[in-house]
Amino acid sequence: MKIRPLSVQEAAASGCTHSVKIDSDDLTETTNNTAQTISLLPVVNGSVVKYGGYFLKTPFQDASDAALNDTAIEIGDGVVNGRYLGSSQVNENGTEITAGFTPNSKATAPHAYVAGDNVDIIFGSMAAKALNDIDTGEIHVFLSLYNFKDLTNI
């Protein structure tokens, strides 16, 4: 996983402040039918996440098992799994969705935090399959995150 604050130009063009790259090597869950939560960014009291989204650069798949065909993601936090993005399919052998962005049917963004938490991505698994069997895939998650406290230093 690689976290990158976006440049001023990138942030102005996209409205996002951070990019997080996740690839198949980050999927380490070995138990069948068990989701994996990956923390993307910490948030503190006063943080606001306006929205989140993703671009699926390379769909996820197990090159040796076409039956592993369901890898859905959600972007949220420790309270609401899909707060920023509800379920989206990112598996090559399913019907992958190459991009997603808030709002969607489940999203409740923007959200202001009154206590610390993490913005997370959850990779869902399927019966008789484990996420660590996935050997290809790359997704870029984009978030708009700022802290009201940082804006009060005048």
What average pLDDT does the segment 31-47 reach?
Answer: 96
How many structural domains is the chain composed of? 1
Distance between CA atoms of 151 and 73, rounded to whole angstroms? 32
**Tell me, what CATH number does 70's domain have?**
2.60.120
Confidence grade of residue 149 (pLDDT, cut at 50, 70, 90): confident
Residue 154 falls inside a structural domain: no
What average pLDDT does the segment 17-31 reach?
Answer: 98
What is the pTM for the complete model shown?
Answer: 0.92
Q: Are 121 and 75 in contact (CB under 8 A)?
A: yes
Residue 43 falls inside a structural domain: yes
Confidence grade of residue 132 (pLDDT, cut at 50, 70, 90): very high
Instruction: State the residue range of the domain holding 106.
Output: 2-145
Residue 152 falls inside a structural domain: no
